Amino acid sequence: MIAVVSALGMTAVLGGCGLTGDSGEVTLKLVAADYGDTKANSSQHYWDELAKAYEAKHPDVRVDVTVYSWNDVDRKVREMVDAGEAPDMAQIGAYSDYADEDLLYRADDVLSIPVQADFVSQLAGAGQVNGVQYGLPFAASTRVLFYNKTLFDKAGVKPPKSWDDLAEAAEALKDKGVKYPYALPLGAEEAQAETMQWMLSGGGGYTDDVGTYAVDSPQNVTTFTWLRDELVGKGLTGPVAPGKLNRADAFAAFANGDVGMLNGHPSLMKAASDKGVKYGMVTTPGIDGESKNTLGVTDWMTAFKKNGHQDEIGDFLDFVYSDENVLDFSRRYDLLPVTTSASQVMSGAAEDKDLQPFLDELLLSELYPVGKTSWASVSADVKKLIGQAVAPGASPSAVLGQIQATAMRAGSAE
């Protein structure tokens, strides 16, 4: 997930959607994920303010919002759907399973043409199943290589542009006693992200050019063989085995000044700055130079058909995706806008200059194959197994082949 996971006290789920009393008032139920890391900046505050602003202009509509942490939100929505109590909208991490069950409105069922057309093309494309958009991008992120400027100066190295540069810098950092010359989080929390970032930098990916799973492609085998031999095998990834290192722990170590470099997304900027770490950001190194592609991630807004509030949902979502509201949310949580118009505003705004490296990468980004209902199974297998691919003496080809077998089995059921 994009979000920093937090566990906050949330409001209880409000019962029932539909007409309330005899007033003719429609109540829209929205379940959303929390992007805050404290109670003070919980996403509940954002949604409460937005709902209040909308209701002031639409007295016949109430918007009840329940926010859950990323630990819980997807499960909570699934439980509601399975109980026949689907919300009108859910802002969550996946959409394709609900689309496959024919539970969702299409994007063009609920959004006005200008709003739907304004989504960043890569994000809109990732929201499609068989060419039809069901997933509405809500918040986006890309990845760049963060490096600790102080540690790099002490080691006498420059930010890397290629894999060889990265390995040489890591060696120099190790010689200076840096705990994690390169932090390689392939632990269960978010291994699928680090994995895809490295696959892309080696010219591969989870799928090939026509969208067929290609986890064990020659490019991916080369990538993980290099990681095994040139980083992990040489002790350049720190004291914790990559398969045991989670993203959150790697980020915390960077903020504590113990990491020379790692792939990171925008939330790491604040974490590092708060701890006084002087950091730089560069394009992810690739096999022969700067990587031509980077990982893009987006979370999704979904609109459920269960309660039949098509017109009200559409009008509210047009409001949600206004430039003002998209920019407000993005700036609060150091995320990238999902609309072209808001991205253009942010690109030209001095207050958003720190996010510019991530904005620059967005149009070159590739997203997980989230339009495949099989992706959940494949992602789970990656989280469970990929750390084994870089262990000393391991066979990257065998591990990637095992994940590919899962992908083919799951994909055949689609």
189 phi, psi to nearest 5 deg: -60, -50
- Looking at residue 413, its pLDDT comes to 66
- Looking at residue 117, its pLDDT comes to 97
- The CA distance from 341 to 336, in Å, is 12
- Looking at residue 21, its pLDDT comes to 38
- Looking at residue 37, its pLDDT comes to 79
Q: How confident is the model at residue 71 (pLDDT cuts 50, 70, 90)?
A: confident
- The CA distance from 67 to 42, in Å, is 8
| Residue 101 one-letter amino acid | E
For residues 57-78, average pLDDT: 94
- Looking at residue 12, its pLDDT comes to 32
Q: Is the pLDDT of residue 373 over 50?
A: yes
Q: How confident is the model at residue 274 (pLDDT cuts 50, 70, 90)?
A: very high
For residues 14-23, average pLDDT: 38
For residues 36-62, average pLDDT: 94
Kindly report the three-state secondary structure assignment for every residue of 330-397: HHHCCCECCEHHHHHHHHCCHHHHHHHHHHHHHCCEEECCCCCCCHHHHHHHHHHHHHHHHCCCCCHH
Q: How confident is the model at residue 410 (pLDDT cuts 50, 70, 90)?
A: confident
pTM of the entire structure?
0.86
Q: How confident is the model at residue 276 (pLDDT cuts 50, 70, 90)?
A: very high
- The CA distance from 304 to 251, in Å, is 35
Q: Is the pLDDT of residue 123 over 50?
A: yes
Strands (DSSP E) along 152-293, which ranges?
A: 180-182, 259-264, 279-282
Q: Is the pLDDT of residue 337 over 90?
A: yes
- Looking at residue 414, its pLDDT comes to 66
269 dihedral zone (left: phi>0; alpha: psi -120 to 50; beta): alpha
* pLDDT > 70 fraction of the chain, expressed in percent and rounded: 94
Q: Which helix (H) or strand (E) holds 25?
A: strand 25-33
Cβ-proximal residues to 138 (8 Å cutoff; 6+ apart), any chain: 91, 298, 299, 300, 301, 338
For residues 328-350, average pLDDT: 94
Least confident of 14-23, 131-140, 177-186, 351-360: 14-23
- Looking at residue 15, its pLDDT comes to 34
Please give the mean pLDDT across all residues of the chain: 92
For residues 189-214, average pLDDT: 95
For residues 161-189, average pLDDT: 97
- The CA distance from 87 to 105, in Å, is 13
- The CA distance from 27 to 18, in Å, is 6
Q: How confident is the model at residue 14 (pLDDT cuts 50, 70, 90)?
A: very low
For residues 206-222, average pLDDT: 96
Q: Is the pLDDT of residue 136 over 50?
A: yes
- The CA distance from 42 to 68, in Å, is 10
- The CA distance from 199 to 223, in Å, is 7
Query: Which residue from 62, 66, 59 is spatially nearest to 30, judged by alpha carbons?
Result: 66
Q: How confident is the model at residue 38 (pLDDT cuts 50, 70, 90)?
A: confident
